[in-house]
Amino acid sequence: MRFIFYVVAFVFAWNGSNGLMLPGWRAQRGPAQAMSWFSRVRRYPLPSHRIIDPIEDCFLVTSEEGELFFKSPSDEPIVCGIYMIADPDKRIQVIFNYLDVPCENGGLVAWVDGWELNGQVWPADAWDDDRVVESCDKRPQRKLVSKQNAALVQYRVPARGKGFAITIRHIRNPRPCNLMLFGSDGVYTLRNHGETGNCSLLAVSPATVRVLDLDVGQTVKRNSLLEVETGTIHH
């Protein structure tokens, strides 16, 4: 069965961000501090090594690989985030090179496998313990890898001079299911590769989406010689 129809994707605008994993975020911001999330985001490529400016880059979106450093300039319990996005056929890998964030005064760094959008987590249909890794005093020892092309590091460091450093890498995802697009044009194919579960495509900027082909409900025999799952196709 094949259909052609048009869908208009709406702009995702945030009027203030809600702290999903970091308690007390909402309490830190009063009505006078509320503003559009997009007005606080700096959307440009990062060099291979960068020091995060806590004023300009509190909510930072990056599509680049490399090393990021953060050092707290004050004792204020401000919550910020590093929103990472890669090509649709990639996954995000984060390594904490060092972490000096004391637990005793409420410091916390949280890895989220996905993005938080206005208090909701994307992708929303699957959740396990590995999707959130919270750390203070001691850095995570293992590599943290997302299941899709988007991931988030939220942090609150209320101690002057304390901070952390991470290295971001994009690694190949041979069987992508959930895709996030940030101002990307092209043709994309969504497949669940014969697995139980939902796949999704999320556009975080104004977009017009045209569904070129729809083939749902086909039965695929496992271990067959014909491989019909081709992954994400984009041109």
Least confident of 39-53, 63-77, 98-112, 164-178: 39-53
Instruction: Output the CA torsion 105→120→115→190 (10° steps).
Output: 160
pLDDT digits (tens, 9 = 90+) for 118-171: 778 889 866 677 789 999 999 999 999 999 999 999 999 999 999 999 999 999
Q: Where are the beta strands (DSSP E) in 101-162?
A: 108-112, 115-117, 120-122, 132-135, 144-145, 150-156
Which phi and psi angles does 217 have, rounded to 5°? 100, 5
Q: Which residues pair with 180 in a beta bridge?
A: 202
How far apart CA 152 and CA 61 sit, in angstroms, is 9
Q: What is the pLDDT of residue 129?
A: 72
pLDDT (mean) for 14-42: 39
Q: What is the pLDDT of residue 106?
A: 94
Q: What is the pLDDT of residue 22?
A: 46
Burial 25-37 (b: 16+ CB within 10 A, else e): beeebeeeeeeeb
Q: CATH assignment of 49-172, given 2.60.120.290, 3.30.70.360, 3.40.50.300, 3.30.565.10?
A: 2.60.120.290
pLDDT (mean) for 84-92: 95
Which phi and psi angles does 122 have, rounded to 5°? -115, 135
How far apart CA 161 and CA 100 sit, in angstroms, is 9
Determine what percent of the chain is predicted with pLDDT higher than 70: 69
Burial of 178 (0-12, 13-18, 19+ CB in 10 A): buried
pLDDT (mean) for 36-41: 42
pLDDT digits (tens, 9 = 90+) for 142-157: 999 999 999 999 999 9
pTM of the full structure:
0.72
Which phi and psi angles does 89 have, rounded to 5°? -100, 25
Instruction: Output the CA torsion 78→163→96→50 (10° steps).
Output: 90
Domain ranges, ordered by start, for the chain: 49-172
- DSSP letters spanning 38-58: GGGEEES---SEEE--TTT-S
Q: What is the DSSP letter of 10?
A: P
Q: Where are the beta strands (DSSP E) in the chain?
A: 5-9, 41-43, 49-51, 59-62, 66-71, 79-85, 90-100, 108-112, 115-117, 120-122, 132-135, 144-145, 150-156, 163-172, 179-181, 201-203, 207-211
